[in-house]
Amino acid sequence: MEVVKGYFDYNISHEIVQFKQFFQISKDLLDYGYKTIAINQTINEETLDNTQKKKKKGAVKTSLELVPQPIKFEKIDGLKVLNRLTIVFSRQDEIYKIMRSKNYKLYDIVAVLPTSNNAFQYACSSMDFDIFCFDPLLSKLPYKLNRKLYKQLVEKGVHFEICYSPAIIDNTQRKNVINTAHLCHSYGKSENVIISSGATFRHTLRSPYDIINLGLIFGLKEEQAKNSILSNGRNVFIHSIRRKLGKPLLFLENAISNRNEGETVKEDEDEEEMDVDQPAQKKTKL
């Protein structure tokens, strides 16, 4: 399996690549200490309807055109870049076609954003995906989230994404993001929460230290805030590999030690620190 390291940001907008800002933003992310990111592409029902209308009459129906090909980007030394697909849907009739697409299988990370109660129930019961998203434009969720369904998604290995970039750009979205984050705390004690940027502009990116402080505002404990950009990010990647392979993963580690018998082995206080190159702290404005 490929090796991934934190810090993680699984939601960098594809517009950054299209606007030729990717190289500069990649340098910023490396300076902040990020090691793994994902370029996000979003499809919704409007996109699917427009795609189907463009098909010529009499053409063989295929789902390949429903999902765009993953965006190609320059390789950046020290930064692992993944492709992510976010599916926004209110009805489930197109989901089957999307999941059968060859382009769909090319994405590393799959996220869903249901916009109706039926779509939410379908996502909880029948879909296999990695990240559950929330719309920062909505002040109220269009479905009823409860402890049972939250726990059901956690047991499936799904992680809940909170994006901080909308909270920086707009006051209304800030209130919506904070409210959603506190719902995750109320229904699931903020379990399996990841914090991503959702950035479309360079100036909305923040360092991991700022994100840990934001996590406290979002109702996370200090350890949870740290895990939201470290261990939980790695778990998302492991879950995506399992989803693509269709089987559980087993990891083996060499536990042989050269220490003499009777010597006390001191465990690391923070296992994640072994995988993280600590960046220099930078003062940034929220």
Q: In 10 A of CB 118, how many CB atoms?
A: 14
Q: What are phi and psi of 131, to 5 degrees?
A: -130, 135
Which of 99-108, 125-134, 135-144, 270-279 is least confident?
270-279
Is 109 a residue whose pLDDT tops 80?
Answer: yes
Q: Specify the pLDDT at position 257.
A: 47
Mean residue pLDDT of the chain comes to: 83
What is the arithmetic mean of pLDDT over 130-159?
94
Q: pLDDT at position 254, please?
A: 56
How far out from the chain centre does Cα 40 lie? 9
User: Long-range contact list for 14-18, CB < 8 A, 24+ apart?
Assistant: 14/39, 14/40, 14/41, 14/71, 15/200, 16/199, 16/200, 16/202, 17/71, 17/73, 18/71
Query: What distance in Å separates the CA atoms of residue 94 and residue 88, rounded to the nearest whole number?
Result: 11
Return the residue matching tokens 């992310």.
29
Around 246, how many Cα atoms within 13 Å sit in the side-chain half-sphere? 1
Confidence of residue 6 (pLDDT cuts 50, 70, 90): confident
Q: What pLDDT shows up at residue 195?
A: 96
pLDDT of residue 213: 93
Cα–Cα distance between 229 and 221 in angstroms, integer?
Answer: 13
CA distance 234 to 221: 19
pLDDT tier at 66 (50, 70, 90 boundaries)? Answer: confident
Domains of the chain: 8-55+62-253+264-275 (3.20.20.140)
Is residue 53 within 8 A of residue 65, CB to CB? The reply is no
Enter the DSSP assignment of 181: H
pTM over 0.85: no
- pLDDT tens-digit profile of 248-285? 555 555 555 444 444 443 444 444 443 455 555 555 55
| pLDDT exceeds 80 at position 58 | no
pLDDT band at 43 (very low <50, low <70, confident <90, very high): very high
**Coil, strand or helix: which one is 178?**
helix
pLDDT at position 87:
95
Of the pLDDT bands very low, low, confident and very high (cuts 50, 70, 90), residue 201 is confident
Q: Do the Cβ atoms of 157 and 195 come closer than 8 Å?
A: no
Sheet of 193-196, strands arranged across? 8-13, 36-43, 80-89, 109-114, 131-132, 159-163, 193-196
**Using CA atoms, how far apart are residues 98 and 48, in angstroms rounded to an integer?**
9
Structure tokens at 256: 């042989």
Count of residues for the chain?
Answer: 286
3-state SS assignment for residue 1 = coil
Percent of residues, the chain, with pLDDT higher than 90? 58
Q: What is the pLDDT of residues 169-178, one digit of tens each?
A: 999 999 999 9
